Structure 1
């Protein structure tokens, strides 16, 4: 067995130490480079988010500022700053008194249409999405393909066929003319199916069935709690969609007492543009529009904590 001289052993140990030190330096430099790259991406993403936030906040800010102005100030003062903040309360009082306080009626109609349609559309979407995700039946792929295809059809293209169908059953100029078409939410069905496939495992359902739970009990006690984030999302999207719906109520409703706030404000806008009656109510229109968006903003603020997607995915052991 050959014996290495002492200086050779020292040289080998020094070389090994140098390699270790260089390896550590390389790892440190690579880590620093990754941190700098991640920091650059983070700064870029923050700048993009700030720009998008400003883009979405500007219309709301303008609406708030405009609701504090009189009709004359709307066209003479700076667009994005206040002229007389005390005029806000004057506008609100005038809004609720104009034409016998019909704005209250329109706002109540919007609440009824939005929440009844939103809850109904959510129930339909949850049941349909769960059925498509966890049950095997003939024609499932074709039916789901039809639903996906209907997502691509613009809602305005369906207004005339919907009007003709509702008129055959005498539902025109009734609340059902707005509520019934709003119960169908193809995107909600698609979203519920995709979420159910990941959030609810087949093993969990089989375990519940082995324990003797029926289908409805399994759905109510096990599936629904797991789908809470998706349910809240579909509910909010359905409510917002019905609340902002304009073309369908415009086509199927003529009674002023049945109009939602979107169509009602448009009627005031048309009167102000035409000058009929010599009354300009631009300040009431902007104030009414600002009041009408507050319920949606509050809904998103109070329900956003339920948007916790994916927390239960993979929870089954």
Structure 2
């Protein structure tokens, strides 16, 4: 009698579990399909860029875009050589300019965001709420909306057509500041800071010796966002710079692309495509090298409650 009762009570549980398993399977299939679609959406342009970098100027117009040249010509290495040597090797100049803007601009933006976010998270002062509202408002304003006012201001200062016209605006990253603010508030226990101060450590020593290791995931995240934003920056350098010797890669490659529409201009679409491929390689390398620092909970267990 007991066995039959247990069997009857166990049957509804089995039905419920099977229903849950079916829902989970459906959900996993849906997520798999969506992930596959996103992967295709992301990788197809990259594949198109890689395939067309192997074609000659004529092969770009006589072959299918997502397949190699029908004549069997593999011109990748020649295209790379021509990209580096075309117009007296100005591509290397643009590459160096972009590195300058990234190292100084994005590096400075990351440092300022870390310092400011840490200070706003761990210090109390008058007007803190007003600063919080200003930061949130700045996050909501797109950079392109500030480009023209920034140009007018820099024009009055005589800084247009100089590297500072690109570097100085890149030093301000409201989203990075907000991210470091919220991350520092959770990642750094107040007890650790109080213990360091009781041991006689100054504020800067406490920040660089204790807080920075705990903020490493947030700092790397802000650094990657700043690097990508500065590396891909196009509109601001376009209106700020007139001298091609100070162009970043984005503006320089667009100038090459526009040559075919000018009188007597030379069409170099194969070099534009190859240059675009070479442009994204450093970003891919940065993500691959820094992804191991994307960890969370470094301070877990560092303070005994």
- Give the superposition deviation at 1:25: 4.5
TM-score (norm 2): 0.93
Aligned pair 1:222/2:210, yes or no?
A: yes
Mapped partners of 1:208, 1:76: distance in 2? 69
Structural mapping, 1:52-131, within 5 Å:
52-83=38-69, 84=72, 86-131=74-119
- Give the superposition deviation at 1:245: 0.4
Q: Which of 284, 296, 303 is the matching residue for 2:271?
A: 284
Q: What is the RMSD computed on CA atoms of the aligned residues?
A: 1.8
Aligned pair 1:263/2:251, yes or no?
A: yes
Mapped partners of 1:73, 1:126: distance in 2? 49
* CA deviation vs aligned residue, 1:47-88 (integer Å, no higher than 9, x gap): 111111110111111111111112222122101111145211
- Give the superposition deviation at 1:247: 0.8
Kept in 1, the 8 Å contact 2:259–2:265? The answer is no
Mapped partners of 1:31, 1:214: distance in 2? 58
TM-score (norm 1): 0.90
Helix, strand or coil: the match of 1:277?
Answer: coil
Mapped partners of 2:17, 2:73: distance in 1? 54
Mapped partners of 2:199, 2:293: distance in 1? 30
Aligned pair 1:182/2:141, yes or no?
A: no
Structural mapping, 1:231-246, within 5 Å:
231-246=219-234
Structural mapping, 1:146-165, within 5 Å:
146-165=134-153
**Contiguous gaps of at least 5 residues in structure 2:** none
Tell which deviates more after alignment, 264-273 or 79-88. 79-88
Aligned pair 1:310/2:288, yes or no?
A: no
2:23 is matched with 37
**Contiguous gaps of at least 5 residues in structure 1:** 1-13
Q: Residues 93 and 253 from structure 1, CA distance in 2 versus in 1: closer, same or farther, beyond 3 angstroms?
A: same
Mapped partners of 2:167, 2:44: distance in 1? 32
- Give the superposition deviation at 1:311: 4.4
* CA deviation vs aligned residue, 1:129-148 (integer Å, no higher than 9, x gap): 11111111111111121111
Q: Residues 57 and 141 from structure 1, CA distance in 2 versus in 1: closer, same or farther, beyond 3 angstroms?
A: same
Count how many residue pairs are aligned between Structure 1 and Structure 2: 302
Mapped partners of 1:255, 1:272: distance in 2? 20
1:192 is matched with 180
Q: Residues 32 and 165 from structure 1, CA distance in 2 versus in 1: closer, same or farther, beyond 3 angstroms?
A: same
Q: Which of 200, 213, 216 is the matching residue for 1:212?
A: 200
Kept in 1, the 8 Å contact 2:117–2:178? The answer is yes
1:170 is matched with 158
Mapped partners of 1:301, 1:272: distance in 2? 36
1:8 is matched with none
* CA deviation vs aligned residue, 1:180-231 (integer Å, no higher than 9, x gap): 1100000000111111122112222223323333222221122111111110
Kept in 2, the 8 Å contact 1:67–1:287? The answer is yes
